[in-house]
């Protein structure tokens, strides 16, 4: 699968911390905020889960003197959730402790883990803690989860959702997902704690911009969050308009599952890969 690396490079900031940091500093210098994801997921080996924990701690140590306002994004399946929730909790707590004021957000994964990820977040959350969560607009359950997170004032990143889910639990039609996204975004923007609107969908962004203008929502009370390497033009446009723009920056050697999800999102990406393989 190394053959896919030239494609992966567009979406990841490097295979190691040193390269990633150069890209993170560059983004910061250009006015973007960053959310860092150490790539890896679905670990079935306790040692690997501990290595992932240590990599996050090493990252925090490396930026200690730079006072960068960055967030961390964690996949609980990388921290050992599928092996043993107690081990996962221990690893996550170590990262949260090391993170200090930096927000630690749990990425949302496949629906087999949704409840366990939400439970871990609610369990570890304390008032004014630095914990955040992601919710997926394609899941029918998410309206209820958003209400819980607003009630607890836990920061939410709202995205469409990137996994293949069955019709009994998830909207399948893009229009229905968009409608639900907006239905969820409105209360988050009005009453949520520092929500992040995570999409590159211009129709959604246009609606959100109209909504915040109508409701007089201050730009410093929320983020637009976009993926590293996706729609840089849109990232810059939102930044130039005075919004807080966060870039989700993944790095590390376990880039394949993340890259395959990015590939699957757009048929142009798949065609691009096929074309480059044929040209080799
Ligand atoms: P789309 O309709 O898919 O895309 C809109 C436009 O954006 C496209 O027309 C295209 O121009 C561009 N675009 C989108 N994706 C690509 C791509 N891969 N390559 C090139 N161009 C592209 N999902 C989860 O399930 N859990 C998470 O924790 C999670 N975290 C995320 C964090 C951030 C910051 C973002 C932005 C997304 C996250 N996602 C997560 C992924 C999300 O669920 C979607 O799969 C992804 O964002 C694509 O949906 P979209 O809203 O951008 O709309």
Q: Residue of the nearest CA to atom 53 in ligand 1?
A: 201
105 Cβ inside 6 Å of ligand 1: no
Distance CA 155, CA 153 (A): 6
- Please give the distance, rounded to the nearest whole angstrom, from the Cα atom of residue 266 to the centre of ligand 1: 10
What is the three-class DSSP state of 51? Answer: helix
Catalytic (active site) residue 233 = no
Q: Residue of the nearest CA to atom 20 in ligand 1?
A: 230
Catalytic (active site) residue 89 = no
Residue 2: its pLDDT value, please?
Answer: 78
232 Cβ inside 6 Å of ligand 1: no
117 Cβ inside 6 Å of ligand 1: no
* Residue ranges of domains in the chain: 2-279
Residue 277: its pLDDT value, please?
Answer: 66
Residue 26, burial from CB neighbour count under 10 angstroms (0-12, 13-18, 19+): exposed
Q: Residue of the nearest CA to atom 51 in ligand 1?
A: 199
- Please give the distance, rounded to the nearest whole angstrom, from the Cα atom of residue 194 to the centre of ligand 1: 20
Q: Residue with structure tokens 């210098």?
A: 29
Nearest 5°: phi and psi at 137?
A: -70, -20
262 Cβ inside 6 Å of ligand 1: yes
Longest dimension (CA), the chain: 55
Q: Residue of the nearest CA to atom 12 in ligand 1?
A: 200
Q: Confirm if 38 and 251 have CB atoms less than 8 A apart.
A: yes
- The model's pTM is 0.95
Q: Among 157, 178, 246, 262, which one carries the catalytic annotation?
A: 157
- Please give the distance, rounded to the nearest whole angstrom, from the Cα atom of residue 199 to the centre of ligand 1: 6
Residue 280: its pLDDT value, please?
Answer: 53
Q: Among 37, 53, 71, 107, which one carries the catalytic annotation?
A: 107
pLDDT profile of the chain (280 residues), mean per 10: 83 94 95 96 94 96 85 97 96 95 96 98 86 98 98 97 97 97 98 97 98 98 97 97 98 90 83 69
Distance CA 260, CA 24 (A): 23
Residue 2, burial from CB neighbour count under 10 angstroms (0-12, 13-18, 19+): exposed
The answer to whether domain 2-279 has CATH 3.20.20.220 is yes
């Amino acid at each position: 699968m190394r053959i896919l690396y030239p494609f992966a490079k567009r979406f990841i900031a490097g295979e190691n911390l040193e390269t990633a940091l150069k890209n993170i500093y560059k983004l910061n210098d250009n006015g973007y905020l960053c959310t860092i994801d150490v790539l890896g997921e679905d670990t079935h080996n306790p040692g690997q889960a501990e290595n992932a924990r240590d990599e996050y701690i090493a990252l925090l140590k490396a930026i200690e003197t730079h006072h960068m306002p960055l967030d961390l994004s964690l996949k609980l399946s990388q921290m050992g959730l599928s092996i043993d929730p107690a081990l996962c909790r221990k690893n996550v707590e170590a990262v949260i402790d090391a993170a200090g004021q930096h927000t630690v957000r749990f990425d949302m994964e496949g629906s087999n883990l949704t409840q366990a990820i939400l439970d871990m977040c609610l369990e570890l959350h304390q008032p004014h803690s630095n914990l955040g969560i992601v919710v997926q607009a394609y899941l029918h359950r998410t309206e209820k989860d958003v209400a819980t997170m607003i009630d607890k004032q836990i920061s939410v990143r709202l995205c469409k959702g990137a996994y293949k889910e069955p019709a009994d639990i998830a909207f399948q039609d893009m229009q229905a997902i968009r409608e639900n996204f907006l239905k969820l975004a409105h209360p988050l923007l009005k009453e949520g704690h520092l929500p992040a609107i995570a999409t590159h969908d211009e129709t959604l962004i246009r609606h959100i911009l109209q909504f915040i203008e109508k409701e007089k929502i201050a730009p410093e009370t929320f983020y637009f969050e976009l993926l590293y390497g996706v729609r840089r033009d849109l990232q810059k446009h939102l930044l130039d308009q005075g919004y807080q723009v966060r870039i989700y920056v993944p790095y590390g050697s376990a880039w394949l599952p993340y890259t395959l999800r990015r590939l699957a999102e757009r048929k142009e990406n798949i065609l691009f890969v096929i074309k480059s393989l044929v040209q080799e």
